[in-house]
Amino acid sequence: MIDKFSYFKFNFSELKVTASEIFPLLGFGPGNNPGPYEQYIDEVLEFANQNVNNISGSLCVSENIEFDTENNKIRVDSLFFDSGKIVTRQLRKCSSVAIFVCTAGPEIEEFSKQQMKIGNIPEGYVADIAGSVIVEAAMDKIQNDFAKHLKAEGLKNYKQIQPWLLRLECGRAAKAFFSVACRSMWYSAYRIISNDSY
């Protein structure tokens, strides 16, 4: 089991999430009038700015990797990923991977559920979308900081693997990993990058 993590913690204001990142996920393209959703987004962002301060994430780097080209799976320590034929073959030369795990914390999800419960479905939905945007922003920040560290050390940069190409197999190991890495399952997500992959 992976047991060496670098931990990070952020306040919402550090991530600089804006309404423009939420609009497209609600189906509003450039020039489209979001109507009342603009107000909902403003209210959700105001709530997040005042209350969401448990955004946390972890980064772990592992060289304990195995590639199963017959079944198209990748094992990183005790975690198994369904990677498909193309990705498995592309990655089989990599010598290490970095896994990022982030959570937005419980506040935004609790706010979303509360809004749904009182019948404010649109604002609850916006809060749900905002939770996902917060997680992605946190992972971007950690990954960018990691890239700067690699550059400063003169090390080769890692290449990101699109998250939909690597599906984490759920089970005890995965749950334990999220428990240790995130200490939470609220709006949690993972991202993997690899070196020497092509």
Question: Cα 33 to the chain's mean position, in Å?
Answer: 29
What tokens were used for 110?
């609790």
Domain annotation covers residue 72: no
**Residues 29-87 pLDDT 10s:** 777 777 889 999 999 999 999 999 989 888 888 888 888 888 888 888 877 888 788 88
Contacts of 62 (CB under 8 A, 6+ apart): 2, 76, 77, 96, 97, 98, 99
Return the pLDDT at 6.
80
Domain annotation covers residue 58: yes
Return the pLDDT at 174.
58
Report the phi/psi class of residue 42: left, alpha or beta, with left for phi > 0 and alpha for psi in -120 to 50: alpha
List the CATH number of the domain containing 116. 3.40.109.40
List beta partners, residue 9.
56
- Parent domain of 104: 6-64+98-194
Domain annotation covers residue 70: no
Return the pLDDT at 197.
44
Domain annotation covers residue 158: yes
Domain annotation covers residue 32: yes
Return the pLDDT at 1.
44
| Range 14-21, long-range pairs (CB < 8 A, 24+ positions) | 14/141, 15/55, 15/134, 15/137, 15/138, 15/141, 16/137, 17/45, 17/48, 17/130, 17/133, 17/134, 17/137, 18/45, 19/45, 21/133, 21/137
Domain annotation covers residue 1: no
Which runs of E-coded beta strand occur in 133-187?
A: 159-161, 167-168
Q: How far apart are CA 61 and CA 2, in angstroms?
A: 9
49 and 40 Cβ atoms separated by less than 8 Å: no
168 and 129 Cβ atoms separated by less than 8 Å: no
Return the pLDDT at 190.
60
Return the pLDDT at 178.
56
**Residues 72-81 pLDDT 10s:** 888 888 778 8
Return the pLDDT at 49.
96
Return the pLDDT at 124.
95
Residue 114 carries which side chain, given as an amino acid letter?
Q
**Low-confidence spans in the chain with pLDDT less than 50:** 1-3, 183-186, 197-198
Whole-model pTM: value is 0.78
Domain annotation covers residue 123: yes
Domain annotation covers residue 136: yes
